Amino acid sequence: MKHLLKLSDLTDKEILEILNLADQLKYERKHNIAHRHLEGKTLGMIFQKSSTRTRVSFETGMYQLGGQALFLSNRDLQIGRGEPVQDTARVLSRYLDGIMIRTFEQKEVEDLAKYGSIPVINGLTDYCHPCQILADLMTIREYKGSFKGLKACFVGDGNNMANSLIVGCLKVGMSFALACPKGYEPCEDILQFAKNYGDKFTMTTDIMTAAKDADVLLTDVWASMGQEEEKAKREKAFAGYQINDAVMSVAHKDALVLHCLPAHREEEITEKVFEAHAKEIFEEAENRLHAQKAVMVKLMKG
Ligand code: CP
Ligand code: NVA
């Protein structure tokens, strides 16, 4: 494993190794056991979109590992003025030990890895959000003990979250049911990937069918970053695609509810369900820190 560009690049074993290391780092942090695996190393963090969790968890994670992180906004970088990613990659590779990038196009992340010579970590693109899904899987295993026999259900947009969740959940052995409106399905290559898993993957427009007997329910905003202009159109298309009491009543009684955050209450999830499951939702947010520290150790320890 040289980069984390998308989850489908990782073997099932590599995903489990990251999750195991993440558990260990979480334990060590809780017990004040230092783990300065990246002493003297620097992570550059390029942000072309907003972030609370990703920025803060990578920055503090790097600090806890004995290294440092640089916040590089595209408003300040020459990349924002048109310097090609090929050149940026080759320059940054001479200063840094790793790059985390949050941007629009997946190709930009892949190009950074192609032209640079240091590990690249995808901190969200329009196509996928691998770091988030590693934290989600970590949280699911923490609460449920294992992935065996579990059913995940995602309600909403076939977006970056859905794309990555489908890959991640299927790879660790869970089954996956997606409920999304027509015209908002995940990317075609993700649907092709899911085909390899036979009836472990299902897609429907009917939320109740997807949520039936689910062990984990997940959702995300109706309009992602960069889709602000489609807000009104999307509010119409996604009306009813909400995790609420009715949806919870057909899931398992002890079902988890996860949300990558930020959440839009009374849109994709009701305030009531959100608050009833706040414990695991914020554990999920915390696990971003541990999962990403594991990724950085795997990629950057050298
Ligand atoms: N879930 C997530 O990636 O949050 P941020 O956009 O705040 O980084
Ligand atoms: N789908 C959302 C996820 C945010 C973490 C977005 O891309 O804006």
* Tens-place pLDDT, residues 120-129: 999 999 999 9
Q: Is residue 75 flagged as an active site residue?
A: no
State the residue for tokens 């892949």.
110
Query: Ligand 2 atom closest to Cα of 126?
Result: 7
β strands within the chain, DSSP E: 42-47, 68-73, 98-102, 120-122, 151-155, 175-179, 201-204, 216-219, 256-259
**Contact in structure between 151 and 216 (CB atoms under 8 Å):** yes
Which residues, given as ranges, of the chain have pLDDT below 50? Answer: none
| 232-243 exposure pattern, b = at least 16 Cβ within 10 A, e = fewer | eebeebbeebbb
Residues recorded for the chain: 302
Q: Which of 219, 288, 292 to mutate to test the pocket of ligand 1 (most atoms within 8 A of CB)?
A: 288
Which is nearest to 4 in space by CA: 137, 173, 196, 133? Answer: 133
Write down the pLDDT at residue 74: 86
Q: Is there an atom of ligand 1 within 6 Å of 54 CB?
A: yes
DSSP state of 50: -
Write down the pLDDT at residue 84: 95
Bridge partner list, 202: 177
Write down the pLDDT at residue 135: 99
Q: Is residue 227 flagged as an active site residue?
A: no
Of 220, 242, 277, 292, which is the active-site residue? 220
The pTM is what? 0.98
Write down the pLDDT at residue 240: 94
Q: Is residue 220 flagged as an active site residue?
A: yes
Bridge partner list, 257: 217
Write down the pLDDT at residue 288: 98
Q: Is residue 157 flagged as an active site residue?
A: no
Query: Ligand 2 atom closest to Cα of 220?
Result: 1
Query: Ligand 2 atom closest to Cα of 159?
Result: 1
The edge-to-edge listing of strands for the beta sheet with 175-179 is 201-204, 175-179, 151-155, 216-219, 256-259
In angstroms, what is the span from residue 52 Cα to ligand 1's centroid? 6
